[in-house]
Amino acid sequence: MPNSNIQLDDNGRLRHFLSIEGLDQAILTEILDTAGSFTSVADRTIKKVPILRGKTVANLFFEASTRTRSTFELAEQRLSADILSLNVDTSATVKGESLLDTLQNLEAMQIDMFVIRHQDSGSAHFFAQHVRPGVSVLNAGDGQHEHPTQAMLDMYTIRHYKRDFSGLRVAIVGDILHSRVARSQIHALNLLNTAEVRVIAPRTLMPVAVESLGVSIYDDLEKGLADVDVVIMLRLQRERMRGALLPSEKEYFRKFGLSQERLQRASPDAIVMHPGPANRGVEIESSVMDGKQSVILQQVSFGISVRMAVMSMIVGQSGLSSGPQPGGDA
């Protein structure tokens, strides 16, 4: 499988982070364990380690983002990297330079790591295929393909609250068809040996042959939620409404929105997750989002640790164990 090769170096260690597909359980577990050591960094008074000191990270966001971009930038600062964040709309692409030329020019600036979000599926792989030895690429979301750091922060959140994947029932609810987040989550949950992964969606938003990914399929929310331990709601892209795939927001909420009442179907200690930004009252009721089972804001916090973990593994340092003592950074 080409994915597995390009993401790992000859010693099987992480070089790029492009997709969950193509990685194995050991790597995923190492990411989660490493992130754990960085979570304590976030709680320290001084939130800073020198793992990327003197390294340069370029953030290339061709799509707008607050959450993902901000957490990447904070992760990079906390690892002491030099940071180049490009507003791609006003960059050289305006003057008609091709994406590959832009990449090669940035690479010539001795960038060590690219974080790229792009509207085209496969764009992160394209970058990874063209960078020089020693340069790494992280996928911050490519089209409808994958969003692997989001999936790993979701896995971190699940493990934090539920410890072990082997006994868990996890439901992913919403626009499975167009969601790069869902694709990455399904791969990750299966690699981590989750007992059952359910996808719940209207038929118009369900991919063809989705069962081949190793999931159970439901088009009825209440049945699908029965006894699950984790509920992951997806954001409903409002433009789907215009595309005639969906009748109306109100109708969508009536059939697939997560209400307090429906959440009763799940296990009593089920957690509720959402990658954000959520549409309150469309895919999720406000009271659920702010309720005691919601771990949506914790996901955001863990996102910084997970991104620090992936970047530190790529430069060859597994978190704090091989780093300096707290407060002892330059």
* Minimum distance, C-beta of residue 84 to its own copies, in the bound complex (Å): 6
What residues contact residue 253 under an 8 Å CB cut-off, 6+ apart?
281, 282, 283
Please tell me whether residue 298 binds its own copies under the rule CB under 8 A.
yes
C-beta of 179 vs 194, nearer to its own copies = 179
Radius of gyration of the chain (CA): 20
- Site map for its own copies, 39-78, x if CB under 8 A? ---x-xxxxx----xxxx-------x-xx--xx-xx--xx
Helix-then-strand count for the chain, H and E = 13, 9
What residues contact residue 19 under an 8 Å CB cut-off, 6+ apart?
3, 7, 124, 125, 139, 145, 146, 148, 184, 187
CB atoms within 10 A of CB 254: 11
* Minimum distance, C-beta of residue 10 to its own copies, in the bound complex (Å): 20
**Residues numbered 77-116 forming contacts with its own copies, rule: CB under 8 A:** 77-78, 82-84, 86, 90-92, 94-98, 101-102, 104-110
Q: State whether residue 254 is helix, strand or coil.
A: helix
Distance CA 141, CA 160 (A): 24
* Minimum distance, C-beta of residue 134 to its own copies, in the bound complex (Å): 11
Token readout for 231 is: 């509920």
* Minimum distance, C-beta of residue 197 to its own copies, in the bound complex (Å): 26
What residues contact residue 89 under an 8 Å CB cut-off, 6+ apart?
none
Please tell me whether residue 160 binds its own copies under the rule CB under 8 A.
no
Please tell me whether residue 118 binds its own copies under the rule CB under 8 A.
no
**Total of residues contacting its own copies (CB under 8 A):** 55
C-beta of 143 vs 276, nearer to its own copies = 276
What is the side-by-side strand order in the sheet with 56-61?
Answer: 82-87, 56-61, 113-118, 136-142
Q: Quick one: which of 195, 220, 223, 297 contacts its own copies (CB under 8 A)?
A: 297
Residues that bind its own copies (CB under 8 A): 42, 44-48, 53-56, 64, 66-67, 70-71, 73-74, 77-78, 82-84, 86, 90-92, 94-98, 101-102, 104-110, 238, 276-280, 297-301, 303-304, 329-330
